[in-house]
Amino acid sequence: LNSLAVQATHVLLDIVHCPPEANLYQTLREESETLLKTQDAWNSAETFNKMHVMDSAIRESLRVHPMLIKGLSKEVVAADGVDLPGGTHLAQGAWIGVPTLGIHRDERFYPNATMYDPFRFVRLREAQAEASGNGGTEAANDFDAGKPSTTYLGFGYGRRAW
Ligand code: HEM
């Protein structure tokens, strides 16, 4: 639960540090007030799935300020080590991982990569929905905060992260 506390702190700090002209706080409040009108709405996962701005603000925070700067850490346990396809030999006891922060702040994947842009994933979600021709945004969940990809590793990657 330490991870939850650390990441939730980043999310809140990113939201309050966002320049006022972005209108983020007001937009988030409006989204919540619109969707969370009744007790039933609070109890429904469906409601939270519709909070696309909140979701985007959270995903963007995990992108710019991931909990781990290096992820997927694994120790080589095979006695003879492991030979990678490129010829590199990893001896037993070596640790390997992926540079989460470097990937998250890579301009090839995210224009203005070091900037916290809370609406980044709302735009991508809408563009994907439009391109898919369904006209709505419900089907476009590739940008949900909890959805990992090779360029979004806030929760790690692979079987345990899905
Ligand atoms: C916003 C909240 C959270 C974030 C950002 C987060 C992120 C992560 C990350 C980055 C890893 C390491 C993945 C890797 O690189 O190998 C991880 C592993 C793990 N997390 Fe979380 N986590 C969160 C909340 C939680 C909570 C609430 C629980 C449990 C109730 C949890 C349980 C685990 C477990 C069990 C693993 C180890 C998985 C494994 O390697 O077997 N996480 N988490």
> pTM surpassing 0.85?
yes
Cα(146) to ligand 1 centroid in Å equals 11
Given a contact cutoff of 8 angstroms between Cβ atoms, the answer to whether 54 and 28 are in contact is yes
Q: Is 118 in the pocket of ligand 1 (CB under 6 A)?
A: no
C-alpha–C-alpha distance, residues 153 and 151, integer Å: 6
Q: Are 104 and 126 in contact (CB under 8 A)?
A: no
For residue range 126-149, list pLDDT tens digits in order.
998 888 876 555 556 889 999 999
1-26 tens-digit pLDDT: 789 999 999 999 999 999 999 999 99
Mean local confidence (pLDDT), 106-130: 95
Q: Answer whether residue 159 shows pLDDT above 90.
A: no
> Which tokens belong to 148?
């990992």
User: In the prediction, which pLDDT does 138 show?
Assistant: 52
